[in-house]
Amino acid sequence: MDTEKAYADRLQAQMRTADARLDEMEAAARARNARAEMDEISGLRAQRDRVRQHVTDARKKMSDDWQAIRREVDSEWTSLRRSIADAQNKYSAWDGAREQRFNAHLDQADAALRRSAAEDAEVAADAKVEVAEARDELKAKSAAARRDYDAWRERRKDEKLQRKLADSELELDEAYARYTLAFDEAQTGGRRPRGD
């Protein structure tokens, strides 16, 4: 159900963005005392509430036919987005201020993408370092365990060598566990693999 939750969370974030746009449109309409615009904005908010309610109902049901629910909600959401864009275009001309806001928003999106790419590269580099360190540790513990095993095989009765071999076995198990965890986290982007 992680996909459904992520989808619902994304849709909630998109609705917050739509709410902000509706708030801007409503403030501009109030400033012009444009009753027809305010009524249309109220209708858009009602449409938004229907989409939000549909998402809430879908999250409660977590139906087996999630894809059908998702298509229906996507359709409603697309319709709402189009209606908001149409209303904004109808009541808000592309003046210098709107163009400046748009360009600032584009710059903000570009900066967010650059930051995200840099953070992704950093996470990938950190994951490579962790995997490399865990791999090196596993190699060292494996070699030490092999040496201890070979020494024990030559003198099986030596209790000191038996204890050393038992310690090496434990250290090998721990190193292997750290390596597989680092490797799995690198493969899944830091998320725990399913079933763990």
pLDDT, tens digit, 9 for 90 and up, residues 76-110: 989 998 998 888 888 777 777 778 888 888 888 88
Rounded to 10 deg, the angle between the 35-61 and 66-91 helix axes is: 170
Identify the band that residue 41 occupies on the pLDDT scale cut at 50, 70 and 90. very high
The reported pTM is 0.51
The overall average pLDDT reported for the chain is 84
Query: Residue 100: inside a domain, yes or no?
Result: no
Q: What is the mean pLDDT of residues 125-130?
A: 90
Residue 44 exposed, middle or buried by CB count within 10 Å (0-12, 13-18, 19+):
buried
Residue 124 lies in a domain: yes
CA Rg value for the chain: 29
Domain ranges, residue 47: 2-93
Does residue 1 register a pLDDT over 70? Answer: no
Average pLDDT for residues 143-160, to the nearest whole number?
A: 90
* Residue 6 pLDDT exceeds 60: yes
Are 19 and 83 within one domain?
Answer: yes
Angstrom distance (rounded) from CA 31 to CA 122: 47
Point out the domain boundary residue: 78, 93, 108: 93
Instruction: DSSP letter for 130, please.
Output: H
Same-domain check for residues 54 and 137? no
Is the predicted pLDDT of residue 142 greater than 90, yes or no? yes
Among 47-61, 122-136, 167-181, the range scoring the smallest mean pLDDT is 47-61
pLDDT more than 90, % of the chain: 20
Q: For tokens 């928003």, what's the residue?
A: 105
Q: Is residue 195 part of a domain?
A: no
* Residues 13 and 74 grouped into a single domain: yes
